[in-house]
Structure 1
């Protein structure tokens, strides 16, 4: 089988009830991103930031996996498949995927912004939570905020440099560096495919439009079993 790099975004988990930035009336629409998704916002009001991510963590815990997660988990068991996600939820893992590269961190993990220790986050976090390593009351969600460098970029770049196929699933293609992955893969000679509710306008060789729960299982079946 070809070497495949798959990038997934919020559209992968939207049908599991986890909202995207653009959902009207959703959790994100109730907050200013500058207040809850930046280091500066955390410095101003850590209690507000923790309340926001506590709500997201509860939503994640209650969300079911969907057919798209299950299909990618099945595909991930084959050699040469690299799963990269912009999502901070754990639905791919709960569907059975292993070694998922979370470039924007994980909602289920906590980070000490004094000593950089990471650990499993409880359902509810607060600004008073001490770091288990250094004891500082400096706990934050282990997620990448606007203005911060995404995780695992060396590993992602290495995978893109030698992949045969790059697939983007459920992402708007507007947030860098992920928005540049398709061009990185194309420059390395890879074929490119977008599976999305609506085309992002990126430079893909092929675009298929529709819900992730329909497109992803169909594409995985084609890849593993043939048309």
Structure 2
């Protein structure tokens, strides 16, 4: 018998308890920078050294953080279900925990790509500097989807969400694209579980919505235990 499919949509709240700061602080700054400076193509064109340094610091941080109990619990679902994690996070904590099918909507810190050929993507563990070039002599850049850029992995994310038998949303507002948009592709009557300490969701919008008002580290293991019963 075919396994049921679970689509898991994760956002910044998934990794917050591992010590990775959420995308933007309340003042709209990201680690002290205006988002336009460090997360747009224009920012990179204006000051590439600043942008590379910003992502180098984020990349270094990944070597010192570990998956939390929420990340680890999701791995257990693969015993009984076909699981795809669709994450807005650019860290590697899902993979570090052992999840085998992770789709990164917004790119990955541990990859870089050519500024000229966006299909040329390389694994990258250390710092990325001005003068680090692809084989044709073009500067490499972080493999991150910046504001104003297309989200190339959105189509496969939509396709899987449409097939999912269960949807789990963790640590991301259901008001913000792309997670909010993805949920609209769910089949009618698909059970949706929403795990967030401060859930901002209109319960009338979905037929079968269960809200678990907890952090990822606490709420995910509880839900996984229920689903595996």
Distance 2:210 2:61 in 1: 33
TM-fit CA distance, 1:171: 0.6
The answer (yes or no) to whether the contact 2:13–2:170 under 8 Å persists in 1 is yes
TM-fit CA distance, 1:209: 0.8
Does 1:87 pair with 2:127? no
Distance 1:127 1:189 in 2: 51
TM-score with structure 1 setting the length:
0.90
Residues 140-163 of structure 1, C-alpha deviations (whole Å, 9 max, x = no match): 100111111223222211111121
Structure 2 gap segments, 5+ residues each: none
Q: 1:178 to 1:16 in 2, by over 3 A?
A: same
Alignment of 1:29-178 (within 5 A): 29-116=31-118, 117-131=120-134, 133-136=135-138, 138-178=139-179
The answer (yes or no) to whether the contact 1:77–1:97 under 8 Å persists in 2 is no
Residues 68-95 of structure 1, C-alpha deviations (whole Å, 9 max, x = no match): 1101122235442211111000011011
1:21 alignment counterpart:
23
Does 1:217 pair with 2:221? yes
Q: 1:139 to 1:11 in 2, by over 3 A?
A: same
Figure out how many residues of one structure are paired with residues of the other and give that number. Answer: 222
Which deviates further from its counterpart, 4-13 or 159-168?
159-168
TM-fit CA distance, 1:175: 3.0
The answer (yes or no) to whether the contact 2:62–2:91 under 8 Å persists in 1 is yes
TM-fit CA distance, 1:192: 1.3
The answer (yes or no) to whether the contact 1:64–1:91 under 8 Å persists in 2 is yes
SS of 1:16's partner is: coil
Distance 2:27 2:7 in 1: 33
User: RMSD of aligned C-alpha atoms?
Assistant: 2.0
SS of 1:193's partner is: strand
The answer (yes or no) to whether the contact 1:161–1:188 under 8 Å persists in 2 is no
The answer (yes or no) to whether the contact 2:29–2:35 under 8 Å persists in 1 is no
Distance 1:94 1:109 in 2: 15
Structure 1 gap segments, 5+ residues each: none
